[in-house]
Each structure stands twice: as C-alpha cells, then as structure tokens.
Amino acid sequence: MRHAKRRLGLFILGATVALGQQRNFVSCPIVRDTKTVPCFLAEYEGETYYLGIQQDITSDFHPPQLKHEVLVEGRVAQGPRVCGGIPLQPVSISVLKEVNLACNTLLPPEPGIEAPPAPRGPGPSSRRPEGGPEAGSAPRKPVAGRQEFTVLYAFNDDYLEYAANQVVTEAAAYAKKIGASNVKVSGYRATSLLSNGDRLVEKAGLAEKRAQSIATLLRGLGVSRLVVESKTEAEPGDGQTDPSRRRVTIVVSP
C-alpha cells in the first residue's frame, strides 16, 4: 500500500515535468539494487530521475559514484518511469571530484522495480568475441580530406574515458594514414547552466591541460606536426548543449 501511495505521488509529481524539458542539477546519486544490475538515480526538486544502469567500460553511460555528488545534464525522455525514476535521455553524468560522505544511498530491490534489460548482467560476460572489431557493423564509409575529431569530457575533468580514448586512437590512425600536414589540437573549458539558474564554471587552466594531454597522446601514437592551442576563457553555458563544449577538438588536415 505504501509503495502504491509512493508511486502515485511520484506519478503526480512526474506530471509536472514536461517531455523534452532539460534538467541540469547537482545532487547525490542514488543506487537502486534490482534482481539484475543496479539502477542509478538522482533526485531534483522532489522528483526522482533515472540516469542509467550498470554496464561495462565500453558503454556510453558511465554511472555516477556514491561518496560523490553528480552533475546531471539531461533531457526528460518519453516513456514510463524506469527503476522508479523519470528517464533522462540523452544524459550527461559528471562525477564531482571532492568526496561527499553524505552521498551514500543504496536502496534494496523492491517488488515491481526492475532494471531495463542489460546487455551485460552483474556476473561474467556471456558475449562471445565477434570476428573482429568491425564484425556485424556496417562497413565504414571511407573518409578523406580534412577531418575533425571531438573528445568529450566530464565536468571539471581531464580523465579520458574509454570512448574518448577510442576517438584519440582513431584520430591518430587517420593522421598517420593520410600523412597529415597539420594536426591542430584545441582545448576548451565550459560553463554549465543549471536548471535553478546557477552557473558552474570549469576550473582555470583545464582547457590547456586537456589540450596538452591529448597532444601528448597523439605524439605517443606517432603523430607529428601538431599545433596545440587552448582557449583561456570558459565558454558560456546555455543549459541545453553544455556537455558538448567540454572538449578538445583534433583537426587533421592532409
């Protein structure tokens, strides 16, 4: 009965959240255990939002962490609640660096709350290796000429996540393949406009640090003729596309 009341309450609150509405906020994440993989949630203004489920390192979604607040930047998506939360999709997750011991909520499984189907469960993987990295996927279009690669970061972070690692590797391979005459690496830092009107600005020096670390990687991967630059000022936030501005661009010219 209590669960039913709670869900009804959540439903009513959820009705005030419009489809497509942007939700940018900082809060403690909540981990919801289920029969399969855990769900990651966060609360904002009395509403619970679903962020994603536990996956592996190659997943697009990298879950938040207990003991840390999380910056959530996502759009309210269509569809029913997931794991008790309104789904945000796309959603960007940035784990804030400082430890916050108050972020420690791990909820037990509850009847009726199930995680969406997971490509990988909590045990060992059942997926057998495919024929190669390209197996099963459509053949890539040959690329030529000037190409731009974008490496994205979490807020205030210069850690290169798995997907970003792949982008750098791809950029290096392309530069070497075409014998690039110029590889321009540009670092940026950005501002996040929160739903409550606050602005979070990435720390000074981060743009240069990001650019230099990418340049170091490219050199290590055998790329030469690098031009490295960084923008000192943080780019302004619009509350819609802010995660896309925490970046390094790599422009490879023939």
Partner 1 sequence: MRRLLVIVGLIVGIVLTLSAQYQDRFKNTWIEPGSGVTLPEFDAFDSVDGTVGVLNASGPVNTEGNPFFTALGTNGRACVNCHQPTYGMSVSTSGLVERWRTTDGKDPVFAAFDGSNCPGLPQEKESSHSLLLKRGLFRIPLSWPPKNADGSLKPVEFTIEVVRDPTGCNTSPQYGLKSADPTISVYRRPRPAANLKYVVSGGRPIVLKTGTLADLDPETGNPVSMNLMTDAREPSLKTQAVSAIMGHEQAHEAPSRQQIEKIVEFESQVYVAQQAHIFGGPLAAAGGPPGLGVAALRDRKAGVLGDNDYDPVFGLFTAWKGNDYYRASVARGADIFMFRQFWLRDAAHINSIGLGNPMKRTCATCHNAQMTGQDLSAGWVDVGTTNYPTWTEPSTESSELPVFKITCNRDADPHPYLGRVIYTTDPGRALISGRCVDVGSIVMQQLRGLSARAPYFANGSAKTLREVVDFYDRRFDMKLTDQEKEDLINFLGAL
- Collapsing DSSP to helix, strand or coil, 101 comes out as coil
Asked if 161 touches partner 1 (CB under 8 A), the answer is yes
**Around Cβ 157, how many Cβ atoms within 10 Å?**
17
Annotate each residue in 211-250 with x if it binds partner 1 (CB under 8 A) or - if it does not, as one string: --x--xx--xx-----------------------------
- Of 97 and 146, nearer to partner 1 (C-beta) is 97
Which span (8-16, 94-102, 174-182, 230-238) binds partner 1, by CB under 8 A?
A: 94-102
Angle, vertex CA 63, rays to CA 57 and CA 65, nearest 5: 115
Question: For partner 1, how many residues bind (rule: CB under 8 A)?
Answer: 40
Q: Which is nearer to partner 1, 64 or 237 (CB)?
A: 64
**Residue among 43 and 161 whose Cβ is closer to partner 1:** 161
Largest CA distance in the chain: 69
Contact partners, residue 143, CB within 8 Å, separation at least 6: 174
Binding mask 18-57 for partner 1 (x = CB under 8 A): -------------x-x---xx-x-------------x-xx
Q: Is 155 in the site for partner 1 (CB under 8 A)?
A: no
- Could you give the count of Cα atoms lying within 13 Å of 243 in the half-sphere of its Cβ? 17
Q: Which is nearer to partner 1, 11 or 159 (CB)?
A: 159
Is residue 131 within 8 Å of 89, Cβ to Cβ?
A: no
Q: How far apart are CA 50 and CA 182, in angstroms?
A: 43
Phi–psi pair at 250, nearest 5 degrees: -120, 110
Q: How far is the CB of 152 from partner 1 (least distance, A)?
A: 13
Q: Are 218 and 172 in contact (CB under 8 A)?
A: yes
List contacts with partner 1 (CB under 8 A). Answer: 31, 33, 37-38, 40, 54, 56-57, 62-68, 97-99, 106, 122-128, 159-162, 164-165, 168-169, 203, 213, 216-217, 220-221
